[in-house]
Amino acid sequence: MSVEVLTLLMFLILMASITMGHPLAVTLAAVATIFGLIDNGFDFPGLLGLFAYNTWGIFLNYTLVAIPLFIFMAQILDRSKVSEGLFEALYIVLGGLRGGLGMAVIVVSTVFAATTGIVGASVVAMGLMAGPALLKRGYDKSLSAGIICSSGTLGILIPPSIMLVVYGGLTGQKETSVGNLFAAAILPGLLLSGMYLLYVGVRCYLNPKVGPPIPAADRTATVLEKFTMTMKNFVPPFGLILTVMGTILAGIATPTEAAALGCLGALILALVTRKLDWNVITEASISTARTTAMIMALFIGGKFFSVVFLSMGGGDVVADVLLGMDVSPYVVFFIMMAVVFFMGMFIDWAAILLVVVPIFTPIAMDLNFNPLWFAMMVCINLQTSFLTPPFGYSLFYFKGVAPPGYTMGDVYRGIIPFVAIQVVALVALVMFPEIITYLPDIFFGR
């Protein structure tokens, strides 16, 4: 059987298995085992040795230690209810504007994203807090669902992002180190947040019925009271952001060391807000262990899949097809982005990274694309995977905690403009790559 046929069959069987609902980690490993045996003449001991060698290499990767640390920090912050106080403050400060309450959700989600890095925590927290409030204040249900789902996904992009840690651990290159990825993601994350704010503000200004201001009776606080309330709830999480990101960007600590500092800061923050007790620590530790185990299982399955795929020549087949096209490098780039976008409709972001990064990164290098810029374009593109049907995780996170007034139709309609905004942002980053590379150049040099 030719390499071309094996390559096509490997991808088709992988997609079919995932669509049928089989666990991702098991599916990746199983498909790799089947095609690895076909490729090496059913030499099972040889394939087992390949699996053991690459699995051991994963667990020797020091960068990946940051994953459970960042997850634990997010779990502690989620239980310390840091975002609730900030939402209540911005509810009063911005509520008088058309669309102000929706914009408050975006601001809080942006801050929350910079302290957690986990989409599920952000979407669920904002769904519980803002979902009923937006419904009560007469906001359009589709717009409300779109705001919560899209702004909640910022946690997968804005540092400290688990996705960026995984990407850095996968490549092992200096250009795409976790520190560089964190620095590169800041401005694109803020760009997306700003575009969401602009869209909500303009839409609600033109049509106040979809996002009316809160009644004057609820806006009795003075300017000084608003300022004090905002600072009281904004400074603690912002201080934690500075602790984590500042030490990385200043070169004082590695991402793993900064993650440990973040855990300590989250525990102190929970202690100050009187939310820290043994139950909180226990629940956070159990959730951290479960999430970390899931990610590492995906890592093992995905790494095995990519190793088998590349060893049997699948990577060369894909490279020959894409590089053999007599077109502009940017046409090849957009084809790769389209593949990532399509896969995001069906597959979890971690599995996509583990499959496409080893295949697409060498092609991007052959086309002379900046590796850091290309990495960020993949990561920003993957953010859409949380919003695109049929398997957009953010949509189901929100629907699981939303009040009865929200239907799945409202959720699907609501995310369409925000997915379009993400696509526009990708185009803007192609036109102005300096948005990605500026901060890494400043902090780490060219």
CB atoms within 10 A of CB 392: 22
Q: Could you tell me the pLDDT band of residue 212, with boundaries at 50, 70 and 90? A: confident
User: Per the structure block, which two tokens stand in for 283?
Assistant: 């629940």
pLDDT at res. 135: 83
C-alpha pair distances (Å), 388 with each of 148, 167, 185, 236, 415: 14, 21, 21, 34, 8
Highest averaged pLDDT of the listed ranges 9-23, 171-185, 313-327:
171-185
- Is the pLDDT at 54 greater than 90? The verdict is no
Q: Could you tell me the pLDDT band of residue 427, with boundaries at 50, 70 and 90? A: very high
| Total structural domains within the chain | 1
- Is the pLDDT at 316 greater than 60? The verdict is yes
Highest averaged pLDDT of the listed ranges 140-144, 213-217, 324-328, 381-385:
140-144
Residue numbers of the domain that contains 194: 3-444
Q: Which residue has the tokens 């599916």?
A: 27
CA–CA gap between residue 102 and residue 86 (Å, rounded): 14
Question: In whole numbers, what is the pLDDT of the chain averaged over residues?
Answer: 83
pTM of the model: 0.83
pLDDT at res. 424: 93
C-alpha pair distances (Å), 124 with each of 154, 236, 401: 13, 21, 7
CA–CA gap between residue 187 and residue 246 (Å, rounded): 15
- Is the pLDDT at 376 greater than 90? The verdict is yes
Q: Which of 318-322, 337-341, 370-374 has the lowest mean pLDDT?
A: 318-322
pLDDT at res. 98: 84
Q: Which of 13-27, 140-154, 352-366 has the lowest mean pLDDT?
A: 13-27
